[in-house]
């Protein structure tokens, strides 16, 4: 039998496997290395799609907010307060200097407490009437009248001047506040005050008594809060150098309208 030239030169003991190959390697390792990049790419693509969806939702939300603001400006101008029927523009974070924002925020909360106290006082008077209070009818009528009247007047003649004063830093506001005093709380504790509360508890009318206590606490918070913040406003008025002469000059040049407007 004749042997080919290639057969003679071929080493019969040579292995087709490389000597560098580890016999203990996982035979499927190469397959995993091929699959992993594609799997990672798929996860990366899914993450990018989710991120794009979140951004799209955020843009849609902002667009809705801008549309609502534009519609509100179209109907009411820039006015945004009160929310259910905007009459004035009120934005502490935008209009009040950063150093004074905490004070104005607390004063706004104090005004909200006053408005809430007036409502609680009215509810208390209803229970006073139903529990047989001697002046139940009169107290209820008074509470119904003073709830909206004091709420509006306290905002216009107490909170708003303070707000505008810290926004504009004009002597006109501070002289008004300092010489008038910041408190608009009546000297009595309301129709459902201390005396009425004690009488309701003595007659076993617990619900009327509890609402009377809440109203009385609300009036007390108003008195103490106004006294405390009056001192701070006075200190700011003195440190800023606001004087009656400056207030008269501002009133003469700008007129009384400037006192009630934001300009």
DSSP states along 142-188: HHHHHHHHHHHHHIIIIIHHHHHHHHH--HHHHHHHHHH-S----SS
For residue range 226-259, what is the model confidence (pLDDT) as tens digits?
889 888 888 887 787 777 787 778 777 766 665 5
Helix (H) or strand (E) holding 257: helix 257-260
pTM above 0.85? no
For residue range 104-152, what is the model confidence (pLDDT) as tens digits?
999 999 999 999 999 999 999 999 888 887 777 888 888 899 999 989 9
Asked if pLDDT for residue 164 goes beyond 80, the answer is yes
DSSP states along 71-129: HHHHHHTT--BSTTS--B---HHHHS-GGGHHHHHHHHHHHHHHHHHHHHHHHHHHHHH
* pLDDT value of residue 115: 93
* pLDDT value of residue 123: 93
Give percent of the chain with pLDDT exceeding 70: 71
Asked if pLDDT for residue 6 goes beyond 80, the answer is no
């Amino acid at each position: 039998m004749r042997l080919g030239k290639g057969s003679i030169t071929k080493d019969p003991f040579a292995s087709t496997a490389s000597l560098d190959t580890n016999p203990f390697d996982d035979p499927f390792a190469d397959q995993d290395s091929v699959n992993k990049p594609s799997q990672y790419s798929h996860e990366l693509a899914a993450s990018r799609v989710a991120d794009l969806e979140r951004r799209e939702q955020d843009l849609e939300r902002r667009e809705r907010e801008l549309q609502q603001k534009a519609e509100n400006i179209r109907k009411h101008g820039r006015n945004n307060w009160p929310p259910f029927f905007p009459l004035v523009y009120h934005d502490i974070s935008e209009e009040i200097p950063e150093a004074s924002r905490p004070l104005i925020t607390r004063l706004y909360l104090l005004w909200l407490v006053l408005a809430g106290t007036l409502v609680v006082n009215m509810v208390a008077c209803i229970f006073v009437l139903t529990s047989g209070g001697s002046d139940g009818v009169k107290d209820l009528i008074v509470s119904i009248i003073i709830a909206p009247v004091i709420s509006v007047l306290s905002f216009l003649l107490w909170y708003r001047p303070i707000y505008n004063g810290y926004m504009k830093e004009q002597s006109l506001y501070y002289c008004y506040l300092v010489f008038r005093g910041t408190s608009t709380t009546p000297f009595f504790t309301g129709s459902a005050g201390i005396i009425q509360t004690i009488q309701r508890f003595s007659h076993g009318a617990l619900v009327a008594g509890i609402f009377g206590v809440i109203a009385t606490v609300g009036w007390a918070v108003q008195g103490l809060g106004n006294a405390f913040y009056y001192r701070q406003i006075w200190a700011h008025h003195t440190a800023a150098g606001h004087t009656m002469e400056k207030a008269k000059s501002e009133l003469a040049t700008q007129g009384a309208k400037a006192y009630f407007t934001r300009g």
